Amino acid sequence: MKHIIIIYLGIFFWSVSLSVSAQHVHDHSNCLEDSINPKYEAILSEITVQGVTGTQRMKDAASPFMVVTPKLLHNTIGTNMVDAVSHLPGLAQISTGAGISKPVIRGLGYNRVVVVDQGIRQEGQQWGDEHGLEVDEEGVHSVEVLKGPASLMYGSDAIAGVMILHPENPLEEGTMQVKVGSQYQTNNGLYDYSVGFAGNIDGWLWNWHFLDKAAHCYKNAADGYVPGSWFKERDVQGMLGVNKSWGHSWLRFSRVNFTPGITEGEPVTYSPYSYSTHMPFQKVLHTKVVSDNAWYFGEGTLKAIVGYQQNYRREYEEEEEEDEAPVVEEPEAALAMRLHTVNYDVKYLHTLPHDWKLSTGIGGMWQKNINQGEEYLIPDYHLFDIGFFATAGWQMKDWHFSGGARIDNRHLNTSSLIDEDEVRFVALSKNFTGVTGSLGAVWNVTERLNLRLNAARGFRAPTVSELSSNGVHEGSIQYELGNTGLKPEKSTQIDLGLDYTSHYVSLQASLFTNWISDYIFLSRLPFETDGYRTYQYRQGDARLMGGEVSLDIHPVDPLHIANAFSYVRGIQLHQPEESKNLPMMPAPRWTCDVRYEFPNFAHNHLRRTFLAAGMEYNFRQNKFYALDDTETATPGYALFNISAGMDLHIFGHNCIELTISCQNLFDKVYQSHLSRLKYVDSELATGRQGISAMGRNFCVKVSVPVDIHLK
């Protein structure tokens, strides 16, 4: 049974949403029939999310959730996966150029955000500023974001929340589909093309696709073309599996080959239109194999996921000054790290009488990191995680209660290293244990109004980089020192939420307070090492407060006027003014979007035709970490955007999805407070510190699925 739902998510380009409960049916059409429905009282009623007690309806979830649908992903401009969803209320991104972005949830990023891809947590040295999210965006069908501590389901690190990247649902039985797609962006010449083939014959499934993507240097009105902002990517992803009455067994594979340039602020010594590889740059190979299984036993389900992933990251530097940066094929890497990870997760979900739902399980990971280059930043290490959890959910009339508890243990061993007769790394053996829990309630006051309250306890063990780093971090252009005395972070967050829906208005509001003891952060030291600014990890007690408000007014069905406001304030307790503010806190943000969706016309061949205009205003961020000039204030700025799109239906169910859009319409020169390029010592003679973000950018995106129905 399909559930067609309309929900305002308060994001950059408002889009009508569709959610299909995976427990009942798998949608196979790429041309989603989610045109405007006047029955707004259905909002949130059937959308399912991965809550603390397993799959549940979104309206019954005590923790704040957001869902980004396939159509919304298609209609949103982005140079990478995180960039495409970072305009959601409460979300932001730490960026390094156009190709590298890291998710930030309510002011917290890096290892405080767990990203789940193909059923397992993504592990790719995510502690680094210039380390992006190496996932195949073509394989992402929809995105689910949980804001707040989620250690119950995902263990250590999920203090900020979780971003779940869902793969495409299996096709209906007796169906095959060939899909091709492409896009082009004018600012940096970004192009990509993809081709895929999927099918379902008698419960036997497959889904394979290939993506090729490249961009030259981007430009803006202040810096011109920014050297090192180019990138290339080539991905392959596939799935083989079987769906039967007893359950399912799926085997997934992906390989992401990502090559981004490194931006250091030096003038361009090669053609800015070049798609070739130029020094300095990174090269990342991320390989993943996942076995996803489920067995049904009456009212219960046993799920088991085991995955292996390898992240092979290399950095290439120029050895000497040259008049022109050479085009290179495969030089020798200065820094090379190979990270092996094995993930495991086994859980049993059971439905009991009197509307009780229980789940219990065990999960964790094993890791091994090996240095294979001439330079070092972190030591070789072994890590083993294990966690046991139990959760429960209970419904009583208009009340829904959920909660649970978990205990985690992480054991870490690092290797010593003597480099050029100096001790570079000291061997460490660390053991961290954390107990976490969650308790929440939702009151369905009426069919239109829901109130929710949730309290959660999170835990995060220090990373190897925070404990033991000792070297130059080229992508961040700084020398980093670890701190072997760091303790685990422990967070306590309280969320209060409200959502109201009617035929003409949709309102969502969420407030939160998050106390984090032993919060870990980088602080600049008053000296340089080998000519680089030097930073060391410190910790102290912190408090973050804020919230999000989204309001969508639709006076008539096709017209939507949407506003969203996000705010977070992070401070370090018991500190003087210059070190009171937490670093890397996003500025307050207001978005306003107007969208008009035309009725179907041209004998019903043109559907979902829309026009949209949007404004994003980022306020001045003057609450910054000023000690030793670690950060500076960031002026406010406004960005304007327009878009249009349609689905052209031909030959029955097949269609052509087309979107045309423009970002930064008035070519505004700006810097995000979370951009790492803001602190680059630029030689581009712009008269300001650092490098600005991308200027005006037009995009054309097309997708063509061809369905084959077997009789």
Whole-angstrom distance, CA of residue 687 vs CA of residue 670: 13
Q: What does the DSSP assignment read for 370-413? A: EE-SSS-SS--EEEEEEEEEEEEEEEETTEEEEEEEEEEEEEEE
Residues in the chain: 711
Q: What's the pLDDT score for residue 7?
A: 30
CA distances from 494 to 145, 387, 511, 514, 547 (A): 17, 23, 8, 7, 11
- Are the beta carbons of 274 and 236 closer than 8 angstroms? no
Q: What's the pLDDT score for residue 236?
A: 96
Provide CB contacts within 8 A for 485, sequence distance 6+: none
Whole-angstrom distance, CA of residue 534 vs CA of residue 527: 6
Q: What's the pLDDT score for residue 685?
A: 58
φ and ψ at 263, to 5 degrees?
Answer: -90, 120
Environment class of residue 197 by beta-carbon count within 10 Å: exposed (0-12), middle (13-18) or buried (19+)?
A: middle
**Which residue in this structure is represented by tokens 């102290």?**
540
Helix, strand or coil for residue 110?
helix
Question: Which among 584, 508, 551, 606 is positioned nearest to 14, based on CA atoms?
Answer: 551
Question: Which among 304, 299, 332 is positioned nearest to 317, based on CA atoms?
Answer: 332
Question: Which among 237, 322, 335, 321 is positioned nearest to 283, based on CA atoms?
Answer: 335
Type of residue found at 577? E
* Torsional sign, CA 527, 529, 534, 539: negative
Per-residue tokens: 42: 């259905």
- Are the beta carbons of 663 and 76 closer than 8 angstroms? no
Strand partners of residue 219 = 225
Per-residue tokens: 570: 């992070």
CA distances from 537 to 314, 381, 415, 631 (A): 24, 19, 20, 15
CA distances from 50 to 146, 162, 226, 430 (A): 9, 10, 41, 32
Per-residue tokens: 514: 């998050």
Whole-angstrom distance, CA of residue 126 vs CA of residue 143: 19
This prediction has a pTM of 0.88
Whole-angstrom distance, CA of residue 350 vs CA of residue 54: 10
Per-residue tokens: 692: 């600005």
Quickly count: other Cβ atoms within 10 Å of residue 416's Cβ: 12
Ramachandran assignment for 161, one of left (phi > 0), alpha (psi -120 to 50 degrees), beta (any other): left
- Are the beta carbons of 74 and 703 closer than 8 angstroms? yes
Whole-angstrom distance, CA of residue 89 vs CA of residue 102: 16
Type of residue found at 287? T
Per-residue tokens: 340: 């092996």
Q: Kindly state the greatest CA–CA separation across the chain.
A: 79
Per-residue tokens: 577: 């003014």
Question: Which among 144, 159, 154, 179 is positioned nearest to 73, based on CA atoms?
Answer: 144
Question: Which among 702, 524, 551, 703 is positioned nearest to 624, based on CA atoms?
Answer: 524
Pairing status of strand 113-117 against strand 100-105: unpaired
Question: Which among 167, 151, 544 is positioned nearest to 364, based on CA atoms?
Answer: 151
- Are the beta carbons of 393 and 350 closer than 8 angstroms? no
Per-residue tokens: 160: 């900020």
- HEC string of 154-173? HCCCCCCEEEEEECCCCCCC
Whole-angstrom distance, CA of residue 419 vs CA of residue 680: 29
Q: How many CA atoms lie within 13 A of 195 on its CB side?
A: 0
CA distances from 610 to 10, 478, 558, 647 (A): 17, 46, 9, 10
Whole-angstrom distance, CA of residue 152 vs CA of residue 476: 33
* Torsional sign, CA 45, 46, 49, 53: positive
Tell me which residues of the chain have a pLDDT lower than 70. 1-59, 318-330, 474-476, 602-603, 651-654, 683-687, 711
Q: What's the pLDDT score for residue 690?
A: 86
Whole-angstrom distance, CA of residue 444 vs CA of residue 499: 10
Q: What's the pLDDT score for residue 61?
A: 76
- HEC string of 614-664? EEEEECCECCCCCHHHCCCCECCEEEEEEEEEEEEECCCCCEEEEEEEEEC
CATH architecture of 40-709: Beta Barrel (2.40)
Q: What's the pLDDT score for residue 329?
A: 56
**Which residue in this structure is represented by tokens 């205009």?**
613
Type of residue found at 433? T
Provide CB contacts within 8 A for 157, sequence distance 6+: 111, 112, 113, 114, 121, 460, 461
Q: What is the dihedral of CA 431, 432, 433, 436, to 10 degrees?
A: -160
Whole-angstrom distance, CA of residue 2 vs CA of residue 24: 8
Environment class of residue 538 by beta-carbon count within 10 Å: exposed (0-12), middle (13-18) or buried (19+)?
A: middle
**Is it true that the peptide bond before 588 is cis, omega within 30 degrees of 0?**
no
Question: Which among 209, 204, 211 is positioned nearest to 171, based on CA atoms?
Answer: 204
Q: How many CA atoms lie within 13 A of 483 on its CB side?
A: 16
In 665-709, beta strands by DSSP E: 697-709
- Are the beta carbons of 710 and 174 closer than 8 angstroms? yes
Q: What's the pLDDT score for residue 491?
A: 93
